[in-house]
Amino acid sequence: MKVLLVNGSPKEHGCTYTALREVEKTLNAHKIGTELLYLGRKPVAGCIDCSSCRKTGKCVFDDPVNDIIARIDTIDALVVGSPVYYSGPSGQVTAFLDRLFYAAGERRMKGKLGAAIVSCRRGGATAAFDRLNKYFSISSMPIVTSQYWNQVHGVTPEDVMRDEEGLQTMRTLAENMAWLLGCIEAGRKEGVPAPRYEPRVMTNFIR
């Protein structure tokens, strides 16, 4: 089993990283493999709706999105972390996720576990948290929860390390994810079938 943790902060080892590492340490304690992906400080292109990915299976912009698309079938769960900017996630992470989810499609994302975590100085955390969870909820991905909304508070990593409840929330999230991954694996071994979906129906609100 493998979990991809995405650091959507421009700061490689900032508050978001500190929260993700708390999740990662608990997952590793359960012998679950992890990969921490840092998106970096270079601009991340947004989706331009060119539909190239529908024909080629990859995005027209050659960056980490394509690397993850190529390996998405080997990833069992996704934890996306972001700082809070104006009550929302960072532009880098939403551009990355827009293209990843559109190019991979529900067919390749469904059944994977998803979780979002956010870091903020004071407010806006729940709005950013909600925005990130919408990627999972539209893709037939079970969303992993914790004992509280997945957020940590602070301006520096040192501040986050003093947020005892926030760090515990990260560990509880990881415990729940490890348990669910184990349940899914046990179900597969026992022959529990995956959900059977009807053919997709799409309607427009305006005729």
Instruction: Write out pLDDT tens, residues 3-19.
Output: 999 999 999 999 999 99
- pLDDT in the model for residue 185: 97
pLDDT surpasses 70 at 207: no
20-33 average pLDDT score: 98
pLDDT at 204: 87
Q: What is the Cα–Cα distance from 62 to 58, expressed in whole angstroms? A: 8
Which stretch of 76-80, 130-134, 194-198 has the lowest confidence by average pLDDT?
194-198
pLDDT in tens, 44-77: 999 999 999 999 999 999 899 999 999 999 999 9
Q: Pick the range with the lowest mean pLDDT from 24-28, 155-159, 192-196.
A: 192-196
User: CB neighbours (10 Å) of residue 192?
Assistant: 10
Give the per-residue pLDDT at 202: 87
Residue whose C-alpha is closest to residue 111's, from 47, 172, 56, 183? 183
